[in-house]
Structure 1
Amino acid sequence: MTNAAIVILAGTESHSDTGRLVNGFEAAREFAENPDDDLELIFDGAGTQWIPELEAEDHDYHDRYRSVSDKAAACDYCAGAFGVEDAIDDAGVVTIDDNEGHPSIRSLIDDDYEIITY
């Protein structure tokens, strides 16, 4: 059994950001498909901007997002800072604020999660 926390930090501005997102989704899918693994998919920083884009059914990566969206969460502070808190709320994605408004990476490590960032 593996505990994995995949953290999407890449923004939406460049082709390389999109590549990081897709690589994150591929890793997330691999963990999600293994019933013995526990996956957390966290959109943090500029990565929170992806959620409203990926919610659009005509987005190229909508289906990849949907395949792991039940594991998705977003940084509460960053959702507000990047102006996407309403869209994240509308999408039904939970926000995490256990470390002064941000996700607690320390808590994940304490719970034996491997942290993988994209």
Structure 2
Amino acid sequence: MSKAAVIILAGTDGHANLGRLVNGLETAKEFAENDDDEVELIFDGAGTQWIPELEDESNDHHDLYRAVRDDASACDYCSGAFGVDDAVNDAGIVRLDDHDGHPSVRSLVDDGYEVLTF
């Protein structure tokens, strides 16, 4: 059994960031498809900007996102800082504020998760 925390930090600008997003979603999907694994998908920093983009059914990666959406959460502070508060709320994505308004990476490590950043 593996435990992985996939953290999407890449913003929505540029082809390289799109590649990081897709690789992160594919990684989360691979863990989610294995019943013995646990996966947490966290949109943090500029990565929170992807939530409204991916919620749009016309987005090329909407189906990939939907495959892992149930495992997704977002940084509470960064959702506000990057102007996507309403979109995160509308999507029903869990907001994390464990450490000064941000997700606690230390807690993930303490719980045995391998932290993978994209």
- With the shorter chain as reference, the TM-score category is over 0.9
Q: Hey, what does 1:53 align to over in structure 2? A: 53
Give the distance between the partners of 2:26 and 2:91, measured in 1 at CA. 21
Give the distance between the partners of 2:86 and 2:58, measured in 1 at CA. 20
- Identity, % of aligned positions: 67
Q: Following superposition, which runs of at least 4 residues in structure 1 exceed 3 angstroms of deviation?
A: none
Gaps of 5+ in 1: none
Q: Pairwise mapping of residues 53-72 of structure 1 onto structure 2 (< 5 A)?
A: 53-72=53-72
Matched pairs, number:
118
Deviation at 1:107, TM superposition (A): 0.2
Which secondary structure state, in structure 1, belongs to the residue aligned with residue 13 of structure 2? coil
Gaps of 5+ in 2: none
Give the distance between the partners of 1:46 and 1:17, measured in 2 at CA. 10
Which secondary structure state, in structure 2, belongs to the residue aligned with residue 35 of structure 1? coil
Is 1:109 the counterpart of 2:109? The answer is yes
Is 1:76 the counterpart of 2:76? The answer is yes
Give the distance between the partners of 1:23 and 1:99, measured in 2 at CA. 26
Deviation at 1:42, TM superposition (A): 0.1
Deviation at 1:44, TM superposition (A): 0.2
Give the distance between the partners of 1:15 and 1:55, measured in 2 at CA. 19
